[in-house]
Structure 1
Amino acid sequence: MRFVIIGAGRVGLRTARVLREEGHDLTLIERDEAMVRRAQRESFTVVTGDGSRESILEDAGVESADAVGALTSDLNVNFTACMIATHYGCRTVMRIDEAYREEIYRKYADEVDEVVYPERLGAIGAKNALLGGTIRAIADVAPNLQIVELTVTDEAPTNGYTMGELELPADATILAHGKRDRSLEIPSPDESLEIGDRLVVLADFDVLSDVRQLVVGERPTQAAANAGTGGIN
């Protein structure tokens, strides 16, 4: 596939590296000269300029791109670039800052194919690693929803339950289950939960601490602190 990535900062460059490693073709757009030089040192094709300008997007090959990722820290640039890319039939992914309120998210979510806020996921990933790897953020679905992978511990009150016996809060849904060292699968109600099993759960931020208590076995105060406000921070 062919991609145009706007922004060669931390988020854009990391995304570009992953896409290139997977064999995709991509062009970066960046207006900061220092960031342009850094990306070029890594042998990326870079168009220098403002990614919210149609002529710059055309120079980057938006006409033949499958998708455009507007990943700068400037919301206005990102939104404008996505609107232009939509005109060319591209899939659009727009970065927003986690500080934006939910109504701002909803305003833009209807206009693009996907909205991402990598600062939140980056913070989540760092904290999860520090906590020992029993909880791993997979994706933010919306400002109030997150998909997480949780690992059953010996302290989990649900250790030994079958999947059919496991009752999560109303605003949480199990998406997949995997035994230790085995791939994730659709949950089977007769499968028992054992130490090291993984559950992929879609949950509202408000119930994440309850889910963590059930699956990971955290104490209520610890689970609430780790869940934080607005996600697992």
Structure 2
Amino acid sequence: MRILVVGFGRVGARTARVLDAEGHEVTVVDDDHGKVLRARERGFTTIEGDGGDRSVLETGGIDEVAAIGGLTGTVETNHRICRIGSEYGCRTVMRLSEDVDPEVYDRYEADADEVIYPERFGAAGAKTAILGGDFNALGDLTEGLQLIVVRIDADAPVVGDHVNEIDLGDHGRIYAHGRDGDPLTIPLPGTAVETGDRLAILAVTGAIEDVESTLLG
């Protein structure tokens, strides 16, 4: 799967390494010469330039990639990246910061397939690793959120559905998927749910029963 990662800071660099380790073809875009050199030294195809510039993304092959991540430290740039990516029909992921105004968030969310808060989920991942080293841990991530893992049985209504099309509404969001016996990873577009699969969900604490009902019937 060909993927454009725009921004090779802390979040982008780690994302690129994980995707590369899973066998995906990653191109890194950044306007910082030092970061471009570091990405190149680690074996990535690189483009030096402003990731919010359409011509730079076209040089990076946006017309051929399956997904693009706007992972720079600038919200406005990430927004432009995702809007351009949407025009080319690829999956778009936008990095936001915790302090984004709710009204602005609603506008940005409409222009991306997925919105992430690295500051929040970095802490969540650290806690998960401490408790169990995998998404098998179940614990409070914030006062109102929990990370849960649901195993899909043969009678579940979501069997056969694509993971990225399962709508949990405001009750939660699916963040990882794994086949029976395999580790949990970020689900790819087109990944269909099978009997025995596990889904890791970030759920509103008071809505866990609703989430389980949607997934399991």
Tell me the TM-score normalized by structure 2. 0.64
Query: Does structure 1 residue 62 correspond to structure 2 residue 62?
Result: yes
Question: Amino acid of the residue matched to residue 67 of structure 1?
Answer: A
Query: Does structure 1 residue 28 correspond to structure 2 residue 12?
Result: no
Q: Is the 8 A contact 1:125 1:136 kept in 2?
A: no
Name 2:167's counterpart in structure 1. Answer: none
Name 1:43's counterpart in structure 2. Answer: 43
Q: Is the 8 A contact 1:172 1:201 kept in 2?
A: no
TM superposition shift of 1:132: 6.0
TM superposition shift of 1:106: 2.0
CA–CA distance in 2 between the matches of 1:18 and 1:91? 18
- Report the count of equivalent residues: 169
In structure 2, runs of 5+ residues without a counterpart are: 151-169, 175-179, 185-193, 210-217
* Structure 1, 126-135 or 70-79: larger mean CA deviation: 126-135
Quickly say closer, same or farther: Cα 1:132–1:48, change in 2 above 3 A.
Answer: same
CA–CA distance in 1 between the matches of 2:9 and 2:28? 10
Q: Is the 8 A contact 1:2 1:24 kept in 2?
A: yes
Name 1:203's counterpart in structure 2. Answer: 203
CA–CA distance in 2 between the matches of 1:57 and 1:73? 17
Percent identity, please. 44
Q: Is the 8 A contact 2:6 2:71 kept in 1?
A: yes
Q: Matched residue of 2:94: which SS? A: strand
Q: Matched residue of 1:135: which SS? A: coil
CA–CA distance in 1 between the matches of 2:107 and 2:82? 14
Question: Amino acid of the residue matched to residue 18 of structure 2?
Answer: V
Query: Does structure 1 residue 135 correspond to structure 2 residue 137?
Result: yes
CA–CA distance in 1 between the matches of 2:201 and 2:3? 30
TM superposition shift of 1:129: 3.7
Tell me the TM-score normalized by structure 1. 0.60
CA–CA distance in 1 between the matches of 2:55 and 2:201? 43
Name 1:231's counterpart in structure 2. Answer: none
Alignment of 1:146-165 (within 5 A): 147-149=147-149
In structure 1, runs of 5+ residues without a counterpart are: 151-170, 176-180, 188-197, 212-233
List per-residue Cα deviations over 1:140-199 (Å, max 9, x = no partner): 9xxx7654349xxxxxxxxxxxxxxxxxxxx979x9xxxxx9789979xxxxxxxxxx99
List per-residue Cα deviations over 1:107-134 (Å, max 9, x = no partner): 2111111111121111122234445667
How much is the aligned-residue C-alpha RMSD, in angstroms?
Answer: 3.6
TM superposition shift of 1:81: 1.0
List per-residue Cα deviations over 1:54-102 (Å, max 9, x = no partner): 1100110111111111111100110001111111111111111122243
